[in-house]
Structure 1
Amino acid sequence: MSHTAHIRSHRKPRRSASTLAVRAGVAGGVLSTLAVAGASGSANAAEPVTQTLELPTLTADLAAQAAQSADATEQAAANYQLQAERDAAAAKAAKKAEADLAEAKKKAAEAKKKAEEEARKEAAARASRTAERTTLSASADAGTGTVLGDSGTGTGAGTSTDTGTSTATGSAAAVVSFVRAQVGKAYVSGATGPSAYDCSGLVQTAFKQINVSLPRVSQDQSTAGTQVSLSNLQPGDILYWGSAGSAYHVGVYVGGGMFVGAQNPSTGVVERPLSYDPPTGAVRVL
């Protein structure tokens, strides 16, 4: 027998089929466990991926909200600007309206003042004429200012102490004679004779008899000649009431403190004393 027959072989012994099967089963179980664990780990690892996938959706919503907020802010700013522009326009319009109102009030006040002044002047002239009518009526009732005859005697109570005779000569005498001849005729505005006159129509027609041309209205007749003092009157002088250049009435001085004029529709052409309604001034044409 060989001396090596009892020495163990260094080669591994062959495993039996059952042993291999067991080991294969164990390995399979391990692999299955690993597979399950891997699957579980994969499943657990997938959760963060799912959360990461949701982030874009959340970011898009926030962007949309931010955009809406920006739009709302822009719209609010635009509304504020529009309101500010409207307020500024309204303030400007109110300021202009206030200025226009102040200007209108100023013009209205000026117009009112002018109208009042004109009304005052008209009232003064009307009052003067009314007083004139009243005095003339009273004088007529009392026989004052009756035209005297050639004898120089009066024909009624209260007649003037003046003899009534005119010292006028020449052209002045012709003027005096003419106006006295018109006493008793009617007063008609704008009339120049022969049956009716107004104040300046009588004066113009009287001087026309001696070929002296005078302006038609009393305003112009009051400046047609040389201004003379009322204390130095001569027959034929033109008397005027009101300011020179803006007189509202005229007559003819006939001497003896008397004048003849076409007074108003109530009295017509009359002869009256200067004291009845003292004239403002006089002009001398002859």
Structure 2
Amino acid sequence: MSHTAHIPSHRKPRRSAPKTALRAGVAGGVLSTIAVAGAAGPAQAEPVTQTIEMPTITEGLSTTVAASAQATEQVAQDLQTQAQQDAAATTAAKAAKKAKAEAVRKAEAKQKAEAAARAKAEAALRASRTQARTTLSATSGSSAGTSASSYSSYASSSSSSSSSSSSSATGSAASVLSFVKAQVGDAYVSGGTGPNSWDCSGLVQAAFRSVGVDLPRVSQAQSTAGTQVSLSNLQPGDILYWGGAGSAYHVAVYVGGGEFVGAQNSSTGVVQRPLSYDPPSGAVRVL
């Protein structure tokens, strides 16, 4: 037996081929890199500059944006204008409502004033008639009883003498009589000139206008529009007046038979009455 047979070997174990090759490759790569770096020398690498291109706003987009801004501004202006118009309309409506209420109040006040004036005028008219009768009686130089008796006598004679003339009235006088009799029953309204409401002088004026005679509008002037005639010598178509000639406060038309037609007052309207109902002061003849 050899004296070395049991001595362990000090040789390094053989490495496997793949590992050796891998190490050789890595080392070779490192050396190659070092070699390249050495060859390049100390030169420094230049910085890399990259340009980024930003999108630009095209002309069409700019126009669209501008139009949108203009439209927004127009809408805002329209809203402001509408608000102003609404406020103005509200103010106008309030003013109109207030004005209407004021007009109604004034109209009611005017109606009340007119009604009071009519009542006052009617009272004055009644008082004036009473005074005129008293004055007429005093002027005749008779007492109240004698005056009444005298008037009854002339009224009776006038009635008897004119009853036939009433039925025989012709021409313009007959037309005047027909006109006033056709209005009997119409309302009395101060200042009324027809066709369905009258005051005393308005009725007389319209009756004579129907036959082409143009009389003054008021009773004072109508009482002097023709020839003065006696109450005992009346003819149909004569104008009767109450008060003095030129200052009369009432007129009517004598229709014969001792009767007259006149617009008396708001209580009676247009009536046909005997002379004794309201004795006149005088008469004038136009026809």
**TM-score for both structures, normalised by structure 2:** 0.45
